[in-house]
Amino acid sequence: MKKKYNAIVIFMLMLSTACGDFLDAKPELSLVIPEELNEYQAILDAEPRQMNYAPKIPLLGADEMELGEGAIPWMTQEELTAYQWEGDYYAVNDYGVDWTYGYQPIYYANVVIDGLRDFKPENEAERNLAMVLEASAKFYRAWSHFQLMQVYAPPYTPGELEQPGIPIRQSADINVATDISTQNDVYLFIMQDLEKAYEGLPEMPDRKTRPSKWAVDALRSRIYIQMQNYSKAAEAGSRALELNNDLMDFKTISPKGAYYFPRFNQEVIFHANQASTGFTFDRQQWVDSELFSLYDSTDLRRSIFFKESRTPGKFNFVSRYSGDYFDWGGLAVDEVLLDRAEALARIGNDSQSLADLNYLLINRYKGNFVPLDLKGSELMTRILLERRRELLFRGIRWMDLRRLNQDPKFAVTLKRMVYGKEKILLPGGSGYTVPIPERELENNPAFN
């Protein structure tokens, strides 16, 4: 009876957090600690309740999407501010979706980690499963802390590690006040969690909503690229690609009808969706015109990714690795391949970098594609161009802008029109960092 009661309490808490009251909830922790391993697994498998979550602000803020005036009224105050890079992000008593949903999986991961400390396995099978569950929880905790850093902390700058980061949550007791840690401390914590996760996880997942060693190294590759530690990014990318580097051959995909990719296609390493909102399904969510112009007629992504909208001259992005209309933000082979290509080029291994780039493009262009022969700055320029063409609408462009803007050769000034007024975001502008919600600052004693 007690086991059933615990499961009901957990379910009710999950429902309450989905309504945005997560940081207000003060559960009695003893009521929500499961007693059996299948209950811990159920917590971590709660994909519809944001365990596999990626933030939406990176898509809104980057230069990939254009919203028509019919779509903008569907936006919340937080979304509109992120889209135009200025204004007050939060309405009164608003925590913000990305903040709330970002910390929600951290809480549930900590429930699992805290609970397993007192779990006594009765046999070897239970011991092994408990090890996998703890490792999985640490992956989710690392994943979510990293996602939050891309929104609520200033862009990572090598040599400036004392910049503010975010609060690190290591316990399911949300009554414990947690101050803002430095970026150095947050990234150390993330990497420690990933190291522990790697030790306990299987090489490959039995479901792509679950973490694995493959996913750990894919995430390390993403993190090290954003930290501009290119030798480490190349190492992590290589380990991930050694496990599986299969790509879809776009020449075998027929661009007809709604032509979505399968939900768990062969390139998906770890599945995650971005938050859906009113503009997600609006027909006036268009691809940025400059971005669309980067695809020529021999590029199969032009016909597979996009579909002409009802507005002449505008195109909708229709093919996502989510397998449906939801914007995707997970880990995939194509990203890791481009991570390694860039990392290798930056540390002087042009030949292997070029091989990675050509492997991707052979699977993305029509049959008459001639492999590229590039090196040096030309190779780097093409890799960065392919990151923009290949990884669109995943939140990755936002991360890339935050780091590439630190190099004058690749810095970009963003511009867009909102209700007839031009909005501008300069390289390194304040719009690249979203403020921590005022309500969180007021309610956390560590901030006062």
pTM confidence score: 0.91
| pLDDT for residue 170 is more than 60 | yes
- Asked which of 16-25, 48-57, 131-140 is least confident by mean pLDDT, the reply is 16-25
Distances (CA, A) of 307 to 256, 259, 287, 310, 363: 10, 10, 10, 10, 20
Share of the chain above pLDDT 90, in %: 77
Lowest mean pLDDT among 135-149, 256-270, 294-308, 429-443: 256-270
* 2-250+328-447 has CATH 3.30.360.10 classification: no
Using the predicted structure, report yes or no on whether residue 10 has a pLDDT greater than 60: no
Q: What are phi and psi of 274, to 5 degrees?
A: -80, 160
Averaged over 305-310, what is the pLDDT? 93
The string of pLDDT tens digits covering residues 102-118 is 999 999 999 999 999 98
In sequence order, what are the residues at sequence separation of 6 or more whose Cβ sits closer than 8 angstroms to the Cβ of residue 49? Answer: 14, 17, 18, 104
Instruction: Report whether pLDDT(166) > 80.
Output: yes
Per the structure block, which two tokens stand in for 382?
A: 């093409």
**Average pLDDT for 251-264:** 79
Q: Which residues pair with 421 in a beta bridge?
A: 418
Does the structure show a pLDDT above 90 at 441?
no
pLDDT in the model for residue 448: 64
Q: Give CA–CA dist 17/172, Å, rounded.
A: 14
Reduce the DSSP state of residue 159 to 3 states and report it.
coil
pLDDT score recorded for residue 259:
65
State mean pLDDT over 8-31: 40
Q: Which residue has the higher pLDDT, 49 or 74?
A: 74
Which residues have CB under 8 Å from 284's CB, separation 6+?
67, 68, 69, 70, 71, 309, 311
Residue 211 token pair: 């973490």
Interacting residues of 155 by C-beta distance below 8 A, sequence separation 6+:
402, 403, 405, 406, 428, 432, 433
CB of 371 within 8 A of CB of 358? yes
Q: Where are the domains of the chain?
A: 2-250+328-447
């320029």: which residue's tokens? 381
**DSSP codes joined into one string, 215-275:** HHHHHHHHHHHHHT-HHHHHHHHHHHHHH------GGG----TT-PPPTT-TTEEE--EEP
User: Other C-beta atoms within 10 Å of 385: how many?
Assistant: 11
Q: Give the integer Cα–Cα distance in Å for 346 and 237.
A: 14
Q: Which residues neighbour 442 within 8 Å (Cβ) at sequence distance 6 or greater? A: 448
Q: What is the mean pLDDT of residues 302-314?
A: 93
| DSSP-derived 3-state class of residue 329 | coil
pLDDT at 118: 87
Tens digit of each residue's pLDDT (9 = 90 or more) over 342-366: 999 999 999 999 999 999 999 999 9
**b/e burial code for range 349-374 (CB count within 10 A of at least 16 → b):** bbeebbebbbbbbbbbbeeebeeeeb
SS3 state of residue 425: strand
Instruction: Give yes or no for a contact between 303 and 255, defined as CB atoms under 8 angstroms apart.
Output: yes
- Check residue 29 and give its pLDDT: 43
Residue 184's pLDDT band (boundaries 50, 70, 90)? very high
Is residue 202 within 8 A of residue 135, CB to CB? The reply is no
Looking at residue 438, its pLDDT comes to 87
The arithmetic mean of pLDDT across residues 228-255, rounded, is 95
Q: Of 387, 424, 425, 427, nearest to 410 (Cα)?
A: 427
Which tens digits make up the pLDDT trace of 327-339?
999 999 999 999 9
Segment 15-38 mean pLDDT: 50
> Would you state the structure tokens that stand for residue 150, as one six-digit string?
């891309």
The better pLDDT of the pair 282, 169 is held by 169
Q: What is the pLDDT of residue 175?
A: 80
Q: With contact defined as beta carbons under 8 Å apart, do 213 and 201 qualify? A: yes
CA distance 218 to 332: 8
Q: Report residue 374's pLDDT band, with 50, 70 and 90 as the boundaries.
A: very high
Question: Cα(308)–Cα(66) distance, rounded to whole angstroms?
Answer: 14
Q: What is the pLDDT of residues 384-432, one digit of tens each?
A: 999 999 999 999 999 999 999 999 999 999 999 999 999 999 999 999 9
pLDDT interval class at 443 (50, 70, 90) = confident
- Give the tens place of pLDDT for each residue, 60-105: 999 999 999 888 988 999 999 999 999 999 988 788 899 999 999 9
Beta strands in 321-382 (DSSP E): 331-332
Top-confidence range, 7-16, 268-277, 411-420:
411-420
| Average pLDDT in the chain | 89
User: And the tokens for 446?
Assistant: 């560590």
Residues 263/322, Cβ–Cβ less than 8 Å: yes
160-165: average pLDDT: 94
Residue 257: pLDDT band by 50, 70, 90 thresholds?
low
Those residues whose C-beta lies under 8 Å from the C-beta of residue 283, and which sit 6 or more positions away, are 71, 309, 310, 311, 316
